[in-house]
Structure 1
Amino acid sequence: MRGYTPFINGEDLPWDGPWLDSTDPATGQAWSRVARCSAAEADQAIKSADRAFRTGPWAEAGAAARADILDRLAGALEARWEELVEPEIRDNGKRITEVRGQFAGLHSWYRHFASEARKLAPEPQANSIHGVESTGHHLPYGVVVAITPWNSPLMILAWKLAPALAAGNTVVVKPSEMASASTLEFARLAHQAGLPSGVLNVVTGLGHEAGEALVRHPLTRKVTFTGSDMGGRKVAEAAAAGVVPATLELGGKSPQVVFADADLENAVNGVLSGIFLSNGQTCVAGSRLLLQAPIAEAFTARLLERARALRLGDPMDPATQIAPLANEPHLRKVRSMIVQAKDDGAECLLDGLATANGKTGYYVGPTVFSGVTQNMQLWREEVFGPVLAIAQFDSEEEAIRLANDSNYGLAAGVWTSDTARGARAAAAIEAGTVYVNHYRSVDPSSPIGGIKLSGYGRELGPDAVKDFLQAKSIWTGTAPVPDPFPA
């Protein structure tokens, strides 16, 4: 069994404390263990990051030098990304096809933000005051705490780490205790690629122990969190105690709205990818399917035909289409929500519990319910699993009303051949991202984030680096100061 210890100040911390087992979702057996860190290790990591921010090569590096370091990291990732694939799969059970696809392009995120770092410069500010010039500057916060989830640890870390480093901050990462291995392997690789000691630190353990200690530490200057809305509330409360800004990317209950004039096969592909890729274990999962009545029967039949054919299997097998859920507690949650949906009266058209019955590991097959009403748990709460809720609508107005009847607002999909209708629906749906005749794309140039219980703040996009910077104005007199108290 592999043992993973905290990575602090450029090295693995010797460890004789308690451990947490990490279980392989495909087998249900522990394959590694990670250190269960406490406030002591959190303090050590934060202080290491603070020293690296204030003194040494990172503190002395300008934007161009930081960009060069990020480019070297990108080069190392491009050459060695395959080393990171197996640890992530063993931790969270994601299909090797998906993980390889993510990791093969992981270096591009760091290259993108290296380029963005080179663009940082003071900005002249227009003002109406005679004899004074003003200039806008942007300063890094200092120590940034990044808390990442178990579903895509290294991809989501890139969204936080790359712009934070481009801005000149140092970072302490607290990965999920369910999936820490790939983050620690990456931290070693980054250090070997030339990232100075203390710039990236990784503290493992439980959220209410190590995570809370990191967020509440007096040297923490900014927090970025991806996870559930419940976890986001706790992080926001802890950060607010120290008046520390936080970016929260939380859950979703994203609608997929399919109008009768949509390209049926294209929409079926989009709905399948939106809910069954990654087993629905993604914040933007399109978990509510709204079908216009004239096509509801035909669309559902085609969707079920495709979903029934999806193959459950070993996540390390490239032929697998549905891999296990990431961990046992999550398996219990998804199972219970499927059972509750049946008890609430939704019609189970495809039962993923039956499909996975008797299979070793944390498996749930594609699950589809119809007749889901707005008062049901399945409509209102995030499953974060391969479970789709179907409802029907008649008019465009009803579709928008149903789409917006949610406490979440992270993403949505609209499927129609009417360009004007697509634009109207996209504008009216309450979500941070709306896809029209498409679903699930992500790019460093496009912001990600939500409204309502889906969180606040944005990651990525044109202001991603500035989100990790503080604005500072410098005023310079160009004419004599007049006597404030003339005779």
Structure 2
Amino acid sequence: MPRFQQYIDGQFEDGDFTFLSIDPATGAPWAVLPEARESDVDRAVQAAHRALKQGAWPKTTATARGKLLYRLADLVSENASKLAQLETQDTGKIIRETTAQIQYVAEFYRYYAGLADKIEGMYLPIDKADMETWVRREPIGVVAAVVPWNSQLFLSAVKIGPALAAGCTIVLKASEDGPTPLLELARLIHEAGFPAGCVNIITGYGETCGAALTRHPKVAHIAFTGGPAAARKVVQNASENFASTSLELGGKSPLIVFADADLESAANAQVAGIFAATGQSCVAASRLVVEASVKDRFVEILAAKAKAIRIGAPSDFGTEVGPLCTERQRRHISSVVEASAASGADVIYGGKALDRPGYFFEPTILDCSKVRAPSLETELFGPVLSVVGFETEDEAVAIANDTAFGLSAGVFTQNLTRAHRLTRALDAGTVWLNTYRAVSPLAPFGGHGMSGHGREGGMASVLAFTKTKTVWLRTSDGSFPDPFIMR
């Protein structure tokens, strides 16, 4: 089996401990991975701290940082095919999406490269005649980045890119499930020419590697993407080092479809929202809130589309839905679907794991209009859609907002004034109107409530990796005035 290495202080290492990576399409091990533990984490953070304070990196101009990021973007583009193949084999994500997504990931690095020398301070028109006062923006420090396995190259780009643009250094922990694309990315970072210690990439388990990283005393900021349960531990760890945090967590996103919508277009968006990526997306549109007068017709359209989905090997470009990433995820989904059906939800389509090698689960549609089924409240991270009907616009908003999450929402309607009303009324960090699952490096992304806080994307994401320093310069001649009076 191929062996992958961790990347610490500009060096590739096997590590003292290893574990096996499982191919989700077969359920069989296929690669040997390094398991970072506390000593590895400490070396990585110490390396990042040295790189931040001494050597070439703190002397690198903002423009030069941008050029390094441009070089990394080019390398990602050039190696997109290999990265896509690794991500598909290690996570089960279909090759047609990994190939397209990784090419777009390069655009995120280019965007942050362009922002590197656009981080500006501020001159203050201070209320003291003999003072010049200004505010500098400086790197916040060592960044601990923790990413899950799904869309990991994208989720890493929105952390590595702005952190390096701001002049920070970073230690990135890849998920223990499917980390090989990020371990390969380390080789591209090395080839791009970043000084040793600027970027360190490790992988391991949350209880050991993740905990040691997020509580390390030299970590200044934690950029975390994952679930609320793990995020609670991250926040607890941050209480030890007082690191600031940005948390991009889960969602239970609604897609609201009104009777005046283009139902075919809305159905395609719903398929994209819940069955694309096998539903393993934080913005998965897992709740369909559809107007009662068209509910039956719309669900019938969806069921036909679900039935036509091509399920197969993720390495086949014809496949539309591949396996789930892990067996434990499939067991979790199966148990919630069974509990929902037992509680009174109607299984319109699907509802069970497929009897074949690998971790496959059928695209599933549950009608939950008559019961508050578990599937309506639990983030399943799989291809399971819960349907609820509504009569009025106010009822649709109430149903959509009836969740502890607040990441994203979608609305399909031809009524422009209604669309504007709903963008204000919906509790979500992103609202898509007559579309779904669109992203851009220019657009801030994030949520609130159980979906976390902070934003990734846009200039705000770069500023989040900076700290401000206020500088005072006395311009008057003569002795310092009365020292016992605050100036």
Short-chain TM bin: over 0.9
Distance (Å, rounded) in 2 between the aligned partners of 1:107 and 1:311: 29
- What is residue 40 of structure 1 aligned with on the other side? 39
Letter in 2 for 1:460: G
* Paired AA for residue 33 in structure 1: V
Q: Which residue of 2 aligns with 1:298?
A: 297
Which residue of structure 2 lines up, in the alignment, with residue 3 of structure 1?
3
Q: Which deviates more from structure 2 when the two are superposed, residues 173-182 or residues 52-61?
A: 52-61
Q: Partner residue of 2:451?
A: 454
Q: SS at 1:262's partner residue? A: coil
Q: Distance in 1 between matches of 2:361 and 2:409?
A: 24
Taking a change above 3 Å as real, the CA distance of residues 315 and 473 of structure 1, as seen in their structure-2 partners, is: same
1:301 alignment partner AA: E
Instruction: Write the distance in 2 (CA, Å) between the matches of 1:249 and 1:257.
Output: 23
SS at match of 1:409: coil
Partner of 2:310: 311
Q: Which moved more, 1:196-205 or 1:428-437?
A: 196-205
Match of 2:252 in 1: 253
Structure 2 distance, partners of 1:473, 1:262, is 53
Q: Which moved more, 1:63-72 or 1:127-136?
A: 127-136
More deviation, 37-46/468-477: 468-477
Determine the structure 2 residue equivalent to 1:392: 389
Match of 1:428 in 2: 425
User: Does residue 367 in structure 1 map to residue 361 in structure 2?
Assistant: no
Q: Residue 274 in 1 paired to residue 264 in 2?
A: no
TM-score (norm: length of structure 1): 0.96
Q: CA RMSD, aligned part only?
A: 1.5
Matched, 1:13 2:13: yes
In structure 2, the residue matched to 1:478 is 475
1:87-140 superposed Cα distances (whole Å, 9 cap, x missing partner): 111111000000000112221111111110121233212433433232111111
Identity across the alignment (%): 39
CA distance in 2, matches of 1:135, 1:406: 44
Partner SS for 2:123: strand
1:88 and 2:82 matched = no
In structure 2, the partner of 1:346 is: 345
1:372·1:378 contact (CA, 8 Å) conserved in 2? no
Aligned equivalents of 2:371, 2:451: Cα separation in 1:
19
One-letter amino acid matched to 2:107: S
Letter in 2 for 1:415: F
* Cα distance in 2, alignment partners of residues 135 and 238 from structure 1: 34
1:390 CA drift (Å):
0.2
**CA separation of 1:359/1:123 partners in 2, compared to 1, >3 Å: closer, same or farther?**
same
Q: Could you tell me which runs of 5 or more consecutive residues in structure 1 were left unpaired when the two chains were aligned.
A: none
Unaligned runs of 5+ residues in structure 2 are: none
Kept in 1, the 8 Å contact 2:273–2:437? The answer is: yes
Aligned with 2:422: secondary structure?
helix
Q: Distance in 1 between matches of 2:220 and 2:411?
A: 39
Deviation at 1:479, TM superposition (A): 3.9
Q: State how 1:221-232 maps to structure 2 within 5 Å.
A: 221-232=220-231
Q: Equivalent residues in 2 for 1:58-73 (5 A)?
A: 58-73=57-72
One-letter amino acid of the counterpart of residue 455, structure 2 = R
Q: Deviations over 1:38-88 (max 9, x none)?
A: 101000111111111111111210211111111111122222222211111
1:121 aligned residue: 120
Partner SS for 1:2: coil
Query: Could you give the per-residue CA deviations for residues 20-40 of structure 1, whole angstroms, max 9, x where no partner exists?
Result: 211101111001121222101
2:328 corresponding residue in structure 1: 329
Q: Secondary structure at the match of 1:203?
A: strand
Task: Tell me the distance in 2 between the aligned counterparts of 1:397 and 1:130.
Answer: 57
Separation in structure 1 between the aligned mates of residue 332 and residue 484 of structure 2, nearest angstrom: 72
The one-letter amino acid of 1:47's match is Q
Aligned-pair distance for 1:352?
A: 4.0
* Range moving further from structure 2, 29-38 or 121-130: 121-130
SS in 2 for 1:172: strand
CA shift for structure 1 position 372: 4.3
Residue 260 to residue 244, structure 1, CA distance change in 2 (3 Å) = same
C-alpha offsets along residues 122-162 of structure 1, whole Å, 9 cap, x if unaligned?
Answer: 32124334332321111112210100001111111001100
Q: Quote the offset at 1:374 in angstroms.
A: 6.6
Residue 264 of structure 1 and its aligned partner are, at CA, apart by 0.9
Q: 2:354 aligns with which of 357, 360, 369?
A: 357
1:415-439 per-residue CA deviation (whole Å, 9 max, x = no partner) reads: 1100110110111010111111111
Provide the residue aligned with 1:241 in structure 2.
240
1:401 equivalent to 2:398? Answer yes
| 2:49/2:142 contact within 8 Å kept | yes
Paired residues of 1:5 and 1:204 also in contact (CA < 8 A): no
Query: Contact 1:147 / 1:176 at 8 angstroms: preserved in 2?
Result: yes
